[in-house]
Structures are given as C-alpha cells and as structure tokens.
Chains A and B, each alone.
Chain A
C-alpha cells in the first residue's frame, strides 16, 4: 500500500510508447493462407489460444520450412485489449526467423521486455502482465501442432504464477529456505503474485489448481509438525519433562504472551505434573493479569484451548 496505490492510475498511462504504438498500429497483424505458405515452400501452422468468452483470444499463423524448421513468416490475429494485441505483435516479431525449437523458448517475460522503452521500466502495469501470457501459450500450441506432440510436453514443470513464470518447485524452495510467512514476502523474493494476482488466492481473474496461500499454509503445517515435538516427531506424552516445559513455553511465546503483554500483564510456568490421564500445567499470572477477572475465566480458557490444540487434548491449566 502507500501513496501510489491509494488513488490508482489509468492503466493506459503506464503503457510504454512501444505498447501504445503497436496497439495503434500493429506491425505483424494479418493472416497467412494455405496458398501463401505453399508458395513459400512452407507448412502452414494455425494455432488458437484463449477464447472470446474469457476476454482474450489469439490466432497465430506460422509458415515453417519443413527442412530447417525455420519460421519463415509469422502473423497473428487477436481478440483482446491493447496489451494482448501489442504482446501478440511482439511475440510474432520474436518468432520470425527462428527455428521452432528456439521459438518455444520465448516467454511472456521476453515479450514484455521487448516492449520496454527503457530497460528498467516495465512496458505494462502489473495488472496487465497476465494479458501477455497468452502470447507465450500460443507459441507452445503452434509448436506442438507442428511437431505433432502434446502441448504438455513443452511444460517442464508446474507454473503457479504465469505472469512472472514462477514454478511450483521454485516457490516451495524459496519459501522453505527463507522461512517466508506472508504473500508480500513471496512476491518480494520471487515476483510471483506481483501482477494479475490470480495466483494468490481463489477468486481472482483466473481459477488455478494451486494458490500461493496454499503453499504458505502447507509450509506452516510442516513447520508446526516439526516444532511441536522438538528434535523428533514425539507426542507431548512421550516427551521428557524438559521437552514438555520447552514445548509449553514455545506455544505460550508464540500464541499467548503477546496478548497478555498488550494488556500490561504476563505469566510464568511453575510446573507440569502428570495427574492420571491429565497433564496439569501450573501457571502464575504477573502484572495486570494477576487479579484480572478474566484471568480465571476467558483468558484461562483461551490459554488452555491453545495448549490443548497445539500439544495435547489432556492438558489442564491451573493458575496459582
């Protein structure tokens, strides 16, 4: 957030001059007919991606030399906004003269970079980045068609954020290595989620199989499983006295202490005793908590419930 995000801008004002010019006057827009391809001694490939009902669609025409696999001529037609049209146009420009194998390596990020006026200023605003993804997808579609293979064979890994092309494996690794806990951190580290935001959580522009919030939740769960029983995956009942004390201290530090301190109080753990099936945890309230009415009702229940949930169902908390 902050000043720049409060009023919002006109998305068009953030287009580079190249994007504007290409929208006004696309250079590679058009069609290649079967006859024209034959005249060039080339094979005509026509690939579609997207759909009008989704808001953008592109048809890519390639005339490919079957002997060399070189794309001799390329054209496009596109249903979409200015970014979709300009990036289709740029994508076609980048394809022309390359072999099909080389073309497959072009990504939407290459397309976006090629549309910049200056190297360090993005060609389109973040929320428009997803409109360039289609330009990437349609190349794969055309290549798959030319080679007679399935489009999936060009996707080496699962991509979670299509705008920034960040894969599932990269995200998992970065989250783990850097102990990331928020979406903002993921975006800072990987750029995933910085653009159309569909990959952050359900309900965005596009439905996804996996969202960044899922990855965070998964990592959080993993961490909890790891830390609930320090050293090993032992249950509270199996822990040594020292381990139990540490586990209880940690849960209180992470979940409870802040709440008490905010009200000018605190607590300490006096003892943990096994009492039949129960674990009785004796605590003492400090500061404002001692004498507070809620310390024997609401607050106490909250502490007990958190410890029960995180450590063991049979915990009882007894204030002294």
Chain B
C-alpha cells in the first residue's frame, strides 16, 4: 500500500483539473498575445480560469490577481518591489515578518536586510501562533510592510490575519499574507478583512506545479519584478502559462466546492487519526487542533529522530515529512520547533502528516499500524530509552 500524507508539500493533480488542461498542449497551443485564431482560441479558457481564480478568493474585479510561476515568485515580488519603492528611496526603512514564514519569505527578507532594510522577526508563542500585539508593538513610522502567513506549513497553525490586517490599516502599513496553506482548507476572502497582497500556489490545492498568483488590492499595485513583453497588464511579463492558468482555475473551483468536505470530513478523519497517534506513549502535538488547518498534524515521538521515522514510514510506502536537522538537504533544524520553544529533546523528533480530500480511512488505519511498529522498533534502537548502570552520568559532550 502506498499512502501520501505530505499534502502540505504538494498534492496530486485532480483528474478533472488535468482533463481541463490537456487541450492546451497539443491542440490549443497558441500564444494568447498573438493576432490569429491560434491565439484567440485560448482566450475563453483563460477568461473562465481567471474568473474562477477571482471568485476563489472573492477578489473584486478592480483588484489585480496576477498569475506568477509559483508562490516563491509572488513572495519575492512583494519584498523586492517594496524594497525598491520604499526602502531604497528612503521613504521607509523597516519591514515585519513572523519568524516561521516559508523560506521564500524569510530568505527574501534576509536578502533585503543585507541591502540595508531593518527587519523585525516576530516570535511565535507556545501554541505556534503570532500574537497580534507583537505586530502593534513592532510597527514604527518607518515600517513599510507587515508579512504574516495565513496558515503555517509545518504546524497548520492559523494566524490571526484579520486582526493583524486591522492593525496594519490603523497604522497605514501595507499588509501581505502568504495564503499558500490556507486556500482549499479554510475560507479565504480578501474582502472580509484588510489585506493588500496575498500569495497562493496551485499545486497546494490539487492544481499543477509551476503556477501561482499574487493578489494586489487596487491602488496598491507593485512595480513588476519581471520586465518584458508586458503580459498580465504589464505587471508580470512572460508568455502566459495557458495550461497552468486553466488548471489553476479549475483547481480553485474544485477547492472551493470541496471546502465544506475539507472542514468537516477531512477534519474528522484527521482528528480521529491524531487521537490514535496520541495513544502512543510520549507523543506530543504542536498547536491545539481547533487552531489548525483541518488537514495538518505536527507530532513528536520522543526518542525518535524525525528522519528515522520517515525512513520506516517510507519503507512501508507512506510519505510524510519532517523539518528535522538531518532530513533536509541543507541540514537546517526545524524552525517551528525551535521557535515554539518546544522541549529541546523534542526539537528533532517532529513528523508532519498532512491529509487531503483524497485521503481515505483505510490509508490512515494502515498508517497507524505502521507508526506503532516504527515507534517500537526505533525506540528499541534509541539511546533515549537505553539501559544505563547505576550512577551513570549521561554525558552531554557534544560536537555541536
């Protein structure tokens, strides 16, 4: 049995989405900006997709939802254009981000920090949440931008973006939210609160990879990051990714249709799965479940390094994730576990399971069995549960 429980990393492309995209490769391959029927036959599909995308986040027509290549591009665009327009010109000198943003925000913030911008990294509390008060306390008259994600990719924690948006409006500071982990999991409505920029990505909600978007409120349009042939109203040059846009449109429609299912059925499955996992002794979950997206669990198994757990899961055909030090290519430790101030011994034990509307009960039952066996085997190997003779001083000597 193969079980995919890494839906916060990416999702399978919904077969309906794929079917909708297919004609735009071999049949309707025209460049939409050309002047002939090959071009014009792409237009109805594009128009339809854009309407679905606007509807998906409830964006009014006068605002701009610009299609990009991915969320990383959208996030880079916001930070770099803010840097060029506000920081480099000396109008402002400061931005605020949470310390657990996605790397495409953190790394870009650090980059503009290296170019002379002041950056405040907001801490998260023990529940893995940002306290809006910290935003209020950090804003100065020179703050150009606040960027706080809607939902965290590791824990699923839903951040209080409405309150933060209101604080930004009060202080006349631009507000950006990375909503990559929110779309399709919780309601996203750009008209229901104050937000200037919002990032999303198709492949997180059963659309294709290589296409994402940036919502920009009317009057807050950024200067382009990519210059060229003036596609997307000049905001984002580059030949339109027709199939990708069509796919994202369909995926957005499907995600909105499935939102109720996600918030009830998926949540129930997740909760029951979590209850079973927590029956294993010495396990800990980060962020209370009612404050999380309905599909995510970040769980620590004491005494088991995260990558080892993934190893055993993978051997049984199960795909999950860990932010633990050893697992990632660049050996970074899990930023959320560090930021949350979790017990130090647990910092490298967190494993993330993320479900989707395609996850079945049968798959979760199987996963529980596999996890139980893995915990037994790996704790059997672990020094954390090992024998020590009386009087043994457990050494903390370390090369770290």
Contact = CB atoms under 8 A, between A and B. Distances in A.
Interface of A: 8, 11-12, 23-24, 26, 29, 31, 33-34, 44, 46-59, 76-85, 127-128, 130-131, 133-134, 137, 141, 151, 162, 196, 204-207
A52 B384 contact: yes
A131 B400 contact: no
B284 interface: no
B56 interface: no
Nearest to A29: B381
A134 B383 CA distance: 13
Given A77-B382, A84-B326, A47 B315 contact: no
A256 B292 CA distance: 58
Interface in B321-345: 324-327, 329-333, 344-345
Chain A CB within 10 Å, residue with most, of B390, B392, B394, B395: B395
A141 B329 contact: no
The secondary structure that dominates the B interface is: loop
Interface stretch (B26-34, B301-309, B357-365): B301-309
A85 B383 CA distance: 10
A184 B65 CA distance: 44
Interface in B344-363: 344-349
B381 A77 contact: yes
Contacts of B348: 52-56
A55 B326 contact: yes
A127 to B, nearest CB: 6
B394 A81 contact: no
Contact of B381 (A85, A131, A134): A85
6 contacts: A48-B395, A50-B400, A59-B388, A77-B381, A84-B326, A205-B325
A59 B393 CA distance: 11
A47 to B, nearest CB: 7
Contacts of A11: 329
B397 A80 contact: no
Given A47-B395, A53-B345, A205 B308 contact: no
B383 A77 contact: yes
Which 10 A-B pairs give the minimum distances between C-beta atoms?
Answer: A53-B344, A77-B386, A81-B326, A48-B395, A55-B325, A54-B400, A81-B307, A59-B383, A77-B383, A31-B387
Contacts of B314: 12
Nearest to A80: B305
Q: Among A31, A48, A130, which residue has the most Cβ atoms of chain B within 10 A?
A: A48
A141 B382 contact: no
Contacts of B387: 31, 33
A53 to B, nearest CB: 4
B370 to A, nearest CB: 14
A195 B348 CA distance: 21
Given A127-B331, A131-B326, A49 B384 contact: no
B396 interface: yes
A56 B331 contact: no
B274 to A, nearest CB: 23
Interface string B364-400: 0000000000000000111111111110101111111
A12 B395 CA distance: 30
Contacts of A78: 381-383
Interface in B202-230: none
A280 to B, nearest CB: 36
B54 interface: no
A133 B395 CA distance: 16
Contacts of B325: 54-55, 205
A44 B305 contact: no
Contacts of B330: 127
Nearest to A24: B315
